[in-house]
Amino acid sequence: MAASLVGKKIVFVTGNAKKLEEVTQILGDKFPCTLVAQKIDLPEYQGEPDEISIQKCQEAARQVQGPVLVEDTCLCFNALGGLPGPYIKWFLEKLKPEGLHQLLAGFQDKSAYALCTFALSTGDPSEPVRLFRGRTSVRTHAPSPECRRRALYAEMPKAEKNIISHRFRALLELQEYFGSLIPPGASDDHSGQGSREG
């Protein structure tokens, strides 16, 4: 399906210019499409992470009437069966980090993982949405003054942050998928990133 996208523009659903910058940096100059950021209002779907990603991607493609890429991020506690998962944003808003950590107070297992899913649609509703996932283990601990003295993940140099991030791993899957569709030596002819303005 994605072979039809080579050399074309794909709408990356985000209103965050820095997120677009980070994604294009990870994908690199040889990625055969050009990503263009566009903010789109999407319904707040419920369900499992894959189901939510697919529904959001389908709706975004319907609104754009063309190819789209949608990103979703989850934080999953193993002791809670994967919760809060895709609902981490609302859990943090209501409970704050301290309250989120207290949810694990009665469990010996404090392990968690961050899951990033990129959903890709060609824009054709008859074609399935393709998912690319990246997962990174997370060590949880109670918030403390010591945490503030440590190097925050968000403040890491981009190159260092990208190597360990769940987003990096998901985008690597996306990159490899497109790479498998392009004959050797043909990628330079189709690369869209280098021609992107601004």
Burial environment of residue 125 by CB neighbours within 10 A (0 to 12, 13 to 18, 19 or more) = exposed
Does the annotation list 19 as a binding residue?
Answer: yes
Does the annotation list 78 as a binding residue?
Answer: no
Does the annotation list 166 as a binding residue?
Answer: yes
Does the annotation list 148 as a binding residue?
Answer: no
Does the annotation list 56 as a binding residue?
Answer: yes
Does the annotation list 161 as a binding residue?
Answer: yes
**Residue 104 contacts residue 110 (beta carbons within 8 Å):** yes
Does the annotation list 17 as a binding residue?
Answer: yes
Tell me the two tokens of residue 126: 């008859």
Does the annotation list 101 as a binding residue?
Answer: no
Does the annotation list 16 as a binding residue?
Answer: yes
Phi, psi of 52, rounded to the nearest 5 degrees? -65, -45
Which residue carries 């709706």 as its tokens? 59
Mark out the alpha helices in 17-140 (DSSP H runs): 17-27, 49-64, 88-102
Does the annotation list 72 as a binding residue?
Answer: yes
Task: Give the CA distances from residue 131 to residues 55, 112, 128, 135, 162, in Å, rounded to whole numbers and listed in that order.
Answer: 12, 21, 10, 13, 20
Write out the binding residues. Answer: 14-19, 44, 56, 72-73, 161, 166-167
Write out the binding residues for Mg(2+). Answer: 44, 72
Write out the binding residues for ITP. Answer: 14-19, 56, 72-73, 161, 166-167
